[in-house]
Amino acid sequence: MAYIEDSLSSGEKIAGLFEQHWVVRIPMVLWLLLVITLPVAIYEYLRVRHTEQGVTNKRVIFKTGIISRKSEEMKIGSIETVEIDQGILGRLLGYGNVRVTGSGSSTLLLRTLNDPMAVKRTIESISHPAA
């Protein structure tokens, strides 16, 4: 999780780092089984390895990119709702997406996370602390 650690501002602390569920590796395994597509399997491995998702005491962060980098961030103070999107297979296997909606029309989607309920609780405990 090098990007999140490197991008911390003064006084900012990591409150949680979110791992993707093992199902995101299924395409990589399938490509490996088709030996001729080894470059695609390597790409899938690197794509998953270089995805970072987490929350600090100041913002929620989603970063992707192997060579190039794309990050989406939302300040904790602008969070309005945290929603879970979990299909049948996700419920059975324990993974899902978490959608963070901010003021205005901004949305941040954290994808294929282990235990999305725990992620939701972590984000909500930081964005709306108990009085």
Res 38 pLDDT > 90: no
**What are residue 83's DSSP bridge partners?**
99
- Domain with 23, as residue range(s), is 2-127
Residue with tokens 């994808």: 111
pLDDT at 29: 78
Task: List C-alpha distances in Å: 50 to 33, 103, 112.
Answer: 22, 28, 14
Confidence band for 22, pLDDT divided at 50, 70 and 90? confident
Decide which of 41 and 22 is more confident.
22
| pTM summary value | 0.74
Q: How many domains does the chain have?
A: 1
The angle, 0 to 180 degrees and rounded to 10, between the axes of the packed helices 38-49 and 26-33 is 160
What does 76-110 look like in DSSP terms, one character per residue?
GGGEEEEEEE--HHHHHHTEEEEEEEESTT-EEEE
Residue 122: give its domain's CATH number. Answer: 2.30.29
